[in-house]
């Protein structure tokens, strides 16, 4: 398994699949199509059933159920098998636009023995236990990084490689008992559109998991709730030499004032941890005449999320009042909600994930996600979808890394999940 999983992962990360929120297409970038078409061809070759790539860039396939024995009655007669819940497993093909994903050069650090890992493309970078504590548990493992000039793309090509290896494992080993399993590879998760055009009726699943997490054993059934905000500032442009007498109002200057007014000590991502939320400006386009600032708002609880919206809107109203010559608007829209609001009503998907993880010799841990996954929106839409570990660390930047053996543990967990759900009964 190791060679197959590794070779898949190394191939996938070298395909540039960064998503782009400025694009209106789905997927938002051509590179995602390249990987999706490659995966489709590989699934066809493996013998998966119902392999289909939709016009919107969703790749779905079925691993057909094995012939499981029917239940035996006390009389000795065999009763018809009760249909097992249909399990769906998700991974997203895009990588984050936060840092370059072009020309990724993966490096395998075999049999890691501790100490700092250096990057040939950027000698100033060091990966050690101060920025990656899990490295302390990785002696003897094979660590994979990029070269220092790009992100690695383990988020979520680790998940993609894991699911493709799972597919090969189950399709070539029919003695492993399981029900129908649906695989789904989604585009544009990193820009919040991962399930926008997914038809859940086409997916036809009862329960799901996303493979988009970190340390082995982690189960994420709580996420941030998220909103997006766009602030637009309209100023008045004049020649700067006459600005003092002609009434220049610089939208760029006002945008800077707004950003400086944000309460960084309690609302900046770099100043918050744990269950604290934040207000995070992600992009600014500004000149004298007009400025546009995009924000993401995050909190685990709805009252906290709503408060952050009020803070931002209040700052915009104050800026407007102080500068009557400008026009300042703030529009907030919903992105996703904490999956715990639904999962805590029925913890069966979480409990069976814990059972699967324990069965491979790892103690499961609950890991609230300071972000969102496709599972957040899937769960809200009626398909419960906790997030499972895929081994990725330090994502969205040049220090991103993954251990091959951690990805192997994820494959084994998914095999056990398939067996467990295959023996379960629908409610």
Q: Which domains does the chain have, with CATH numbers?
A: 2-223+338-422 (3.40.630.10), 225-335 (3.30.70.360)
Determine the Cα–Cα distance for residues 282 and 353; give it in Å rounded to an integer. Answer: 34
Q: Which residues are catalytic?
A: 94, 189
State what percent of residues in the chain have pLDDT above 90.
87
Percent of residues, the chain, with pLDDT higher than 70: 94
pLDDT band at residue 73 under the 50/70/90 scheme: very low
Q: What pLDDT score does 1 carry?
A: 57
> Residue 69: pLDDT band by 50, 70, 90 thresholds?
low
Omega of the bond prior to 103 within 30 degrees of 0, cis? no
DSSP structural state of residue 15: S
| Cα–Cα distance, 73 to 273 (Å, whole number) | 54
Q: Which of 232, 235, 230, 231 is nearest to 324 (CA)?
A: 235
The residue among 158, 122, 121 whose CA lies nearest residue 143 is: 158
Q: Does the pLDDT value for residue 79 go beyond 70?
A: no
* Cβ atoms of 140 and 111 closer than 8 Å: yes
| Beta strand 87-92 pairing with 181-186 | parallel
Average pLDDT of the chain to the nearest whole number: 93
Per-residue pLDDT of 8-42, as tens digits, reads: 999 999 999 999 989 999 999 999 999 999 999 99
Q: What is the Cα–Cα distance from 269 to 253, expressed in whole angstroms?
A: 23
Confidence band, pLDDT 50/70/90 cuts, at residue 265: confident
Mean pLDDT of 241-258: 85
**Structure pTM?**
0.89
Please report which confidence band the pLDDT of residue 267 belongs to, taking 50, 70 and 90 as the band edges: confident
Q: Tokens at residue 301, please?
A: 């609880």
Distant-in-sequence, close-in-space partners of 65: CB < 8 Å, separation ≥ 6: 84, 178, 179, 180, 181, 422
The span from the CA of 218 to the CA of 357, in Å, is: 9
Check: CB of residue 133 under 8 Å from CB of residue 173. no
The arithmetic mean of pLDDT across residues 373-383, rounded, is: 94
Q: Please report which confidence band the pLDDT of residue 361 belongs to, taking 50, 70 and 90 as the band edges.
A: very high
Residue 314 has a CB neighbour count (10 Å cut-off) of 12
Dihedral sign for Cα atoms in the order 231, 234, 239, 243: negative
CA distance 1 to 56: 32
pLDDT of residue 71: 46
Structure tokens at 253: 């200057």
Q: What is the pLDDT of residue 70?
A: 52
In this model, does residue 287 exceed pLDDT 80?
yes
Average pLDDT of span 246-274: 90
Rounded distance, CA 100 to CA 103, Å? 9
Q: Which helix (H) or strand (E) holds 212?
A: strand 207-213
């Amino acid at each position: 398994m190791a060679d197959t999983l590794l070779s898949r992962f190394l191939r996938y990360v070298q395909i540039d699949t960064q998503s782009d929120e400025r694009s209106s297409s789905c997927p938002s970038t051509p590179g995602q199509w390249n990987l999706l078409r490659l995966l489709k061809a590989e699934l066809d070759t493996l013998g998966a059933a119902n392999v289909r790539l939709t016009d919107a860039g969703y790749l779905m396939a079925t691993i057909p159920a094995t012939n499981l024995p029917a239940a035996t009655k006390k009389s000795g007669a065999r009763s018809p098998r009760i249909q097992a819940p249909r399990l769906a497993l998700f991974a997203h093909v895009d990588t984050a636009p936060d840092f370059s994903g072009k020309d990724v050069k993966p490096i395998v650090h075999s049999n890691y023995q501790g100490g700092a890992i250096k990057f040939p493309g950027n000698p100033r970078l060091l990966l050690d236990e101060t920025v990656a504590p899990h490295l302390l548990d990785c002696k003897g493992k094979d660590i994979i990084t990029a070269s220092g000039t790009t992100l690695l793309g383990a988020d979520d090509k680790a998940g993609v490689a894991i699911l493709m290896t799972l597919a090969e494992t189950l399709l070539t080993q029919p003695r492993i008992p399981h029900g129908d399993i649906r695989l789904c590879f989604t585009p544009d998760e990193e820009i919040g559109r991962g399930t926008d055009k997914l038809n859940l009726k086409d997916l036809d699943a009862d329960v799901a998991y996303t493979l988009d997490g970190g340390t082995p054993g982690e189960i994420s059934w709580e996420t941030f709730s998220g909103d997006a905000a766009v602030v637009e500032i309209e100023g008045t442009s004049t020649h700067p030499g006459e600005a003092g007498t002609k009434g220049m109002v610089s939208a760029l200057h006002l945008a800077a004032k707004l950003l400086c007014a944000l309460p960084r000590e309690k609302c900046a991502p770099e100043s918050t941890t744990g269950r604290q939320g934040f207000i995070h400006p992600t992009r600014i386009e500004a000149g004298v005449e007009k400025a546009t600032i995009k924000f993401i708002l995050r909190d685990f609880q709805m009252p906290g999320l709503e408060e952050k919206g009020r803070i931002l809107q209040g700052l915009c109203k104050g800026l407007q009042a102080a500068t009557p010559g400008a026009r300042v608007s703030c529009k907030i829209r919903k992105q996703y909600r904490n999956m715990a609001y639904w999962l805590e009503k029925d913890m069966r998907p979480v409990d069976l994930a814990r059972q699967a993880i324990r069965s491979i010799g790892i103690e499961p841990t609950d890991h609230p996600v300071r972000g969102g996954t496709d599972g957040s929106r899937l769960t809200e839409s009626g398909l419960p979808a906790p997030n499972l570990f895929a081994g990725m660390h330090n994502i969205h930047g040049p220090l991103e890394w993954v251990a091959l053996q951690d990805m192997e543990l994820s494959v084994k967990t998914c095999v056990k999940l398939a067996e467990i759900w295959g023996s379960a009964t629908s409610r």
